Structure 1
Amino acid sequence: MLMKPRYTGNENPGQIPYTPNAPNPLQPPNDPNMPQTAPGPGVPGTTKRIVGQSKGTLENIKEMGTPTIPETIKSNIHCVTIVGQIEGHIMLPSQNKTTKYEHIIPQLVGIEQDDNVEGVLLVLNTVGGDVEAGLAIAEVVATMTKPTVTLVLGGGHSIGVPIAVSGRYSFIAPTASMTIHPIRLNGLVIGVPQTYDYLDKMQDRVIRFVTEHSKVTEEKFRELMFKTGELARDIGTVVIGKDAVESGLIDEVGGIGQAMCKLKQLIEEQKGKERCFLQ
C-alpha cells in the first residue's frame, strides 16, 4: 500500500520552512497612508513608486498657470481691482467679465474700519459700465480717510475715469488708455425735455467729480468729452499714458513699483501728521 508523503512544517516545497501567515517580501504591506503604487515591469508582484508633481502643484498649474504661488504675507496695504465692466442695477450676461459695485463698496467700508490696513491700492483695467455704480465707488474712495493710490493698467474708460481720479494720487501705465465721452443710455429713451435735462444733470455730476479730484479744468474736460472726428461714428477722445498726465487727468506715468512707493510715502506722511496731532 502506497503511503502519502508527509511534510513536516513545509507544505510548499519551494520554501523551507513554510509559514502560512508570513508576509511576502515581494508584496509591500497594505498601509492606507502609503502612496498608491503601480506594478513594475517584468516581475509580477513588484511595485515601483510613481514620481511626479504633488497634487497642490498640479492644481496651481491648472488654475494659475504656475507651479508655485507666492505665500500670502500680512501687509498694511490692501489691493482692490476694478476690472471688466462695472455692473450696476442690471445683471450683465454671464460671459462678461464684471466688477459688481455691491462687492466693492462693502470691501472698501471694511478696509476703512480695519486698523491693520493703512493704505489702499486700486488697480483699474475697465471698459466702464453703469454710471451711478461707478460714481458710487468713486465717491467712497474719495471720502476714505486712509491713503489711496489708483493705477490704470490697460484701460480706464468711460465711468472708469472718475474712479481713476478718486484717489489721493493717480498713476497710469505708459501704454494704458482712457476714453472720455458723453453719457449714453441703453434701451428705451423717452423723447421729452425732462429726459434731456436728466442727462445733462448726470453729465454735470461726472464732470464736477472729475474736475474736483484732478488737475484738469472743466473747459479742457468738456473739450475732450465732446471732441468730434477722433472716434469713428462717435464723439469723445482717447488719451494714452503721457497724454492723460499732460491734460491734468492723471498725476503721473508709472507702474506698480511707483504706485507702491507713493502709497508708502503717503502712509508715512499720515503717520507723521497723527503723531503731531497727538503731541
Structure 2
Amino acid sequence: MVDAGSVVDLLKDARDRRNAALILELDLTDGIVEGQPADPVSALLSMRRTHLRDVLGGLRRARTDPRVRALVVRIGGHRIGLAMAQELRDAVRAFRDAGKLAVAWAESFGETGRGTVPYYLATAFERIYLQPSGDLALTGVALEEPFFNEALGKIGVTPRFAKRHEYKTAANTFMERAYTPEHKEMSGRLVASTGEQVVAGVAAGRGLAEERVRELIDHAPLLGAEALEAGLVDKLAYRDEVYADVRAAVGDADARLRYVARYNRAQGLAKRLPRQRQDGVALIQGQGPIRLGRSGRGAMPGQGSSMGSDTIATAIRAAVRDDKIKAIVFRVDSPGGSYVASDTIWREIVLARKAGKPVIVSMGNVAASGGYFVAAPATVIVAQPGTLTGSIGVVFGKPVVGDLLGRLGIGLDSVEQGAHARMYAPTRDFTDEEWGRVNSFLDRIYDDFVGKVAEGRDLPRERVDSLARGRVWTGADAHERGLVDELGGLGQALDLARKKAGLAVDAPVRLYPHVSPVDRLRPAESSEDRTAATARLDAWGPLSTVAARVGLPSGGPLMLPGTWEIV
C-alpha cells in the first residue's frame, strides 16, 4: 500500500526541483564540439561532449529564466580556436547584460603552455578566478610554419607544385626554405590582426589601457600572484572557494548546479507540446575538408569529419523542398579541398536563393579556400573577427620521389598507353606538355573562383582579384574589404535568417539532413532520398596514390595549407 505522506513528499520534492534556483556550469577543459559529426562513429563518440549549439541555446534561454542566477565556466586544457572563443564571449556578454552573474575559473591558464586564447575568453566574464598554484601564460600570438624543401632535397624528393597566386602558400611549404616576401606579409598581418583583437578584448574586459595589456603580455608568463597584482584575475582560489563565492553572491546556498547543455535540452523538451509544425529555419553544418561524395571521417586519423558534397547538396535540396523551411543557415568550418565538390555545393546554394529562400553562411574558426568558395553565393556571410577566411586561390602538384626510390635501391619500370597516362604518378616529373596542362587547369579554376566571388559578393572582378591571389584574411580584415558582410556568430546568423524570412524571433531551428538510425540502415530509394545523404561508414576515407606512397594526404586544389592554428 502506497503511503500518502510519501507521495506528498515526492510531489513536493519535484516541485522544489522545478522551482529551485540554478547555477549553470560549463566545462571547457575537453573542448567543445562545433556541430554534430557527420559519420556515425564520430557522432557516437561525441555524445557525451558539449556541443556549441546547446551552449548558445542554453545561455539564450537562461537570460530570461528567473531561476538561473549565475554561470560558472571552467576554462583550460583543450585548445579552443579564436573564433570559437569569440562566439562564447558574445553569448556570455548577452547573459551578463540580462543581469546575471558570470564567473570564469581555471586551475591554470597554460601550465607550461600557451594560455592567450583561453584567458581572452575569460575576460568576457565578470569575475576571473585562478587556482593559487596556477599561472597566466598570456604570452601573445604566434604563427609557426615549417618549410621542407631542403629536407626533401636531401632524401631525393623533388616538389613540383604550381599555384594561383603569390599568397597561396601551400606550395611554399614544400618548395621554399623560408618565407617569401608575400608569405611573410600575409602571415604577419594575420598575427597582427589577431593580436589587436586579443589586446582590445583583454583591455575592455579588465578595464586596462591597451598599452598596459601589451606590457603585461611582454612580461608573461605570470605567476598567479603577479596576475592578481596586475588586475588580470580577481582572486586566487580553489574550486570549492569559487563555488562558495558564487553561492554567496546569488544569496542561495541551496542553489542547484546544472550543466548548460543539460539545461538547454531539458528546457527544449518541456516546450515541445503537440502542435502543428511551425515555419522555421534549416541549419546545415559543413565541417572539415571538402570532398566528393558523402560526408564522413577525414582522409587521415585525427583529421576529424569531412564535408561531402552529396551530403550537403542533398540537405540543401531537402530544405528547399520543405514548405515549412523559410530560410537556411549554412555553418561552415572548413579549410577547403576539392574544387569540383565545392562547386557542387555552390550550385545548390545558388538554386536555393533562386527558389526564394535566403541562405545565411555562418563561418566558424576557418572558412577558407574551398570553404570560402561554398560561402560566396550566400545572401549574407557572417564571420567572427578571428575567423580565418579568404584564400581565394588554387594550388596543385605532386612530390616527385623517383630519386628517393633510386637511392633506396628500388627499381621501377612501367608500360603505358597514352602520352599522359603517368602524368599524376609521383615517380616521375611532369613533361613540358603536362606542365602546360597543369597551368591551364589552375588558370581555369582561379578564373572561375574569382568570377563567382565577384558575382556572389557584388564586387568588381578586379577588386576581388586584388583581394584574392590566395591571401588569407582574418574575419575582421575580410569584413573591412567586403568579403564578409557582418561580424558575429551562429546565433546572429540564425536571428538574421529569421528576419530575412519574416519569421518570429523564436521560430524553430531544424537540423538538416535529419536521418534516423533506421534510415541509416536502409538503402536509398533515389538520389533525392534523405538516406542518400547519410555519412559514409568508412575508416578514414580512401588515401590518394601520393599519400599511400609518400605519406601526404591529398586535400584538393582548394585547400588551405597546414593546420593554421594561431596560438
Q: Indicate the TM-score class for this superposition, using the shorter chain for normalisation.
A: 0.5 to 0.7
Q: Matches of 1:190 and 1:202 in 2, distance apart?
A: 21
Deviation at 1:242, TM superposition (A): 2.2
SS of residue matched to 2:318: helix
Deviation at 1:81, TM superposition (A): 1.1
Are residues 78 and 224 of structure 1, via their aligned partners in 2, closer, same or farther at CA, if it must alter by over 3 Å? same
Q: Matches of 2:448 and 2:45 in 1, distance apart?
A: 45
Contact kept? 1:105, 1:140, Cα under 8 Å? yes
Contact kept? 2:393, 2:449, Cα under 8 Å? no
Which one has the bigger helix percentage?
2
2:451 equivalent to 1:208: yes
SS of residue matched to 2:395: coil
Are residues 94 and 166 of structure 1, via their aligned partners in 2, closer, same or farther at CA, if it must alter by over 3 Å? farther
Deviation digits for residues 123-151 of structure 1, max 9, x if unmatched? 11111111110121012112212111111
Deviation digits for residues 160-179 of structure 1, max 9, x if unmatched? 11222221111111211214
Deviation digits for residues 56-86 of structure 1, max 9, x if unmatched? xxx9996234672624766611111111111
Following superposition of structure 1 onto structure 2, how do residues 169-188 of structure 1 map, counting pairs within 5 Å?
Answer: 169-187=380-398, 188=424
2:306 equivalent to 1:96: no
Higher relative contact order (CA 8 A, sep 6+): 2
Are residues 60 and 219 of structure 1, via their aligned partners in 2, closer, same or farther at CA, if it must alter by over 3 Å? closer
SS of residue matched to 2:482: coil
Q: Matches of 2:491 and 2:437 in 1, distance apart?
A: 48
Give the aligned residue type for 2:500. L
Contact kept? 1:120, 1:148, Cα under 8 Å? yes
Q: What's the counterpart of residue 502 of structure 2?
A: 268
Contact kept? 1:87, 1:130, Cα under 8 Å? yes
Alignment coverage as a number of residue pairs: 202
Q: Percent identity?
A: 18
Following superposition of structure 1 onto structure 2, how do residues 107-146 of structure 1 map, counting pairs within 5 Å?
Answer: 107-144=315-352, 145=355, 146=357
Give the aligned residue type for 1:177. L
2:49 equivalent to 1:64: yes
2:476 equivalent to 1:259: no
2:421 equivalent to 1:217: no
SS of residue matched to 1:120: strand
SS of residue matched to 2:289: strand
Q: What's the counterpart of residue 165 of structure 1?
A: 376
Give the aligned residue type for 1:249. L
Give the aligned residue type for 2:48. E
Are residues 81 and 191 of structure 1, via their aligned partners in 2, closer, same or farther at CA, if it must alter by over 3 Å? farther
Contact kept? 1:220, 1:247, Cα under 8 Å? no
Q: Matches of 2:47 and 2:446 in 1, distance apart?
A: 45
Contact kept? 2:288, 2:307, Cα under 8 Å? yes
Q: Matches of 2:47 and 2:293 in 1, distance apart?
A: 34
SS of residue matched to 1:197: helix
Deviation digits for residues 90-119 of structure 1, max 9, x if unmatched? 982354321111111111111111112111
Q: What's the counterpart of residue 291 of structure 2?
A: 87
Are residues 60 and 127 of structure 1, via their aligned partners in 2, closer, same or farther at CA, if it must alter by over 3 Å? closer
Give the aligned residue type for 1:176. T
Deviation at 1:152, TM superposition (A): 0.9
Q: Matches of 1:163 and 1:222 in 2, distance apart?
A: 17
Unaligned runs of 5+ in 1: 1-58, 227-235, 270-279
Contact kept? 1:148, 1:169, Cα under 8 Å? yes
Q: What's the counterpart of residue 243 of structure 1?
A: 477
Are residues 110 and 239 of structure 1, via their aligned partners in 2, closer, same or farther at CA, if it must alter by over 3 Å? same
Q: Matches of 1:121 and 1:257 in 2, distance apart?
A: 10
Are residues 186 and 197 of structure 1, via their aligned partners in 2, closer, same or farther at CA, if it must alter by over 3 Å? closer
Q: What's the counterpart of residue 15 of structure 2?
A: none
Q: Matches of 1:61 and 1:158 in 2, distance apart?
A: 27
Are residues 248 and 215 of structure 1, via their aligned partners in 2, closer, same or farther at CA, if it must alter by over 3 Å? farther
Are residues 191 and 183 of structure 1, via their aligned partners in 2, closer, same or farther at CA, if it must alter by over 3 Å? farther
Unaligned runs of 5+ in 2: 1-43, 51-258, 399-423, 425-429, 504-567
SS of residue matched to 2:502: helix
Give the aligned residue type for 1:93. M
Contact kept? 1:87, 1:101, Cα under 8 Å? yes
